[in-house]
Amino acid sequence: MPEESGGKPWPPGQAAAGWSMNLPAEPLALRQLRVRLRDWLAELGAAASDRTDLELAVWEAAVNAIVHGRPPAGDATVTVRASLDDAGRAVIQVGDRGQWRQPGSADPGRAWPGGQGLSVIRQATDELDIAPGPTGTTVTMRRALSRPVQGEAQPGDYPATAAHHGRPE
């Protein structure tokens, strides 16, 4: 069962606060993520095109974390954090505890085609940063929302990300 922080529903007249969820790295857990993201974006007053694109981008990032982000030992989890930055852009991070694999790396037992997730995310967001590290990979997505969004920015909540938009060093 996902663990969530950030209150819901939000008081009338206030923009939605940032939130985070820890999910088991299982496809069925993504249903609750999608609902949580959809509710947050609706509360922000985001346009339908923003909601659709961000849902798709976050879904793709979470699927990548499930497929590629398994740690060598222990439970596989996916952490999602969402907030607004100082400019009112949606900033969403998806993190795992696995190790980065270069595109095209063999995935034993994979029975479906893949490899387009990062391209989809790049098309659906304004910025994509990928920060692989020894304790996992964090994908940070940013998108300016079509409708002006007022909310409290939460600077400092996001770890440093790669400056080369999706190309790990």
Task: Domain of residue 31: give its range.
Answer: 19-102+115-143
Query: What confidence score (pLDDT) does residue 159 get?
Result: 47
Q: Give the number of domains in the chain.
A: 1
Of the candidates 91, 156, 104, 103, the residue with the CA atom closest to the CA atom of residue 132: 103
- pLDDT in the model for residue 140: 97
Closest to 138 measured CA to CA, from 146, 130, 150? 130
Q: Confirm whether 12 is domain-assigned.
A: no
In a domain, 166, yes or no: no
Q: Judge whether 132 lies within some domain.
A: yes
The domain that holds 49 is classified in CATH as: 3.30.565.10
Q: Tell me: the pLDDT tens digits for 48-81?
A: 999 999 999 999 999 999 888 878 788 889 999 9
Residue 124 lies in a domain: yes
Q: Could you tell me which residues come within 8 angstroms of residue 10 by beta carbon, excluding any fewer than 6 positions away?
A: 16, 17, 43
